[in-house]
């Protein structure tokens, strides 16, 4: 009986350690620290402007896939697009861009901390007239509550441009191609 109790307690301790470790990975947004790369996509014809898509890949990498799809759609609209991980040197400034997109995974209803930090710091330094989009990726379909929680990641200012930021959540059960294309169409109009 005593041996069985010890085995049960050991298993319980292992489960607690795993849960705490997983929570720490999400809380400290460890995946963002691997997002140090960047690449530039050039349109086949003449470029009509510059866009940057800054992403936090998240634990599953889904947000990177969303960022890549948004970048390809912007490239198809004749923009020269820089796709940059949130910790890359290319993501350190948003000046000189016509379109700025920042996004990442949604954990517990809110944007991942590194993506939220990028929104808070970089969006405040944007060029006047730049169109700004923020995306979140997560499980399930998008609801108005999801959009409201992502919008809370955006700093409040009286600047009219910041009031018109386009916010979208692309859920895992939704068609990425359609949702990304709709998001890009909103940004370029």
As a whole number, mean pLDDT of residues 159-165 equals: 61
Give the pLDDT of residue 66. 93
The backbone region for 138, taken as left when phi is positive above 0, alpha when psi lies in -120 to 50, beta otherwise, is beta
**pLDDT at position 32, please?**
55
Highest mean pLDDT of the ranges 43-57, 128-142, 165-179 = 43-57
* Stretch 127-140: mean pLDDT: 84
pTM over 0.85: no
What's the confidence (pLDDT) of residue 155?
A: 65
Helix (H, G, I), strand (E, B) or coil at 61: coil
pLDDT tens figures, 67-122? 999 999 999 999 999 999 888 888 888 888 999 999 988 877 778 877 888 887 77
CA gap 103, 67 in Å, rounded: 7
Report domain extents, the chain: 33-188
Q: Read off the pLDDT of each residue in 145-171 and give the average, rounded to a whole number.
A: 73
Q: What is the mean pLDDT of residues 133-152?
A: 81
Q: Please give the pLDDT value at position 98.
A: 92
| Rounded Cα distance, 188 and 132, in Å | 10
pLDDT tens profile 24-66: 555 555 555 566 677 999 998 999 999 999 998 887 778 899 9
Q: Report residue 162's pLDDT band, with 50, 70 and 90 as the boundaries.
A: low
What's the CATH number of domain 33-188, 3.30.230.70, 3.40.50.10860, 3.40.50.360, 3.40.1110.10?
3.40.50.360
Res 19 pLDDT > 80:
no
Q: What is the pLDDT of residue 59?
A: 76
């Amino acid at each position: 009986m005593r041996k069985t109790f010890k085995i049960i307690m050991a298993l319980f301790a292992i489960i607690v350690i795993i849960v705490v470790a997983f929570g720490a990975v999400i809380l400290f947004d460890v995946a963002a620290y691997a997002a140090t790369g960047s690449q530039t996509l050039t349109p086949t014809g003449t470029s009509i402007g510059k866009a940057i898509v800054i992403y936090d890949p998240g634990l599953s990498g889904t947000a990177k896939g969303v960022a890549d799809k948004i970048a390809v759609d912007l490239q198809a609209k004749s923009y020269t697009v820089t796709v940059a991980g949130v910790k890359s040197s290319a993501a350190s400034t948003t000046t000189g861009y016509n379109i700025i997109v920042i996004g990442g995974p949604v954990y517990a209803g809110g944007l991942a901390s590194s993506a939220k930090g990028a929104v808070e710091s970089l969006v405040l330094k944007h060029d006047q007239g730049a169109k700004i989009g923020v995306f979140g990726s997560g499980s399930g379909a998008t609801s108005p509550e999801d959009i409201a929680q992502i919008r809370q990641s955006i700093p409040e200012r009286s600047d009219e441009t910041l009031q018109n930021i386009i916010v979208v959540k692309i859920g895992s059960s939704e068609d990425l191609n359609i949702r990304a294309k709709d998001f890009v169409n909103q940004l370029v109009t």
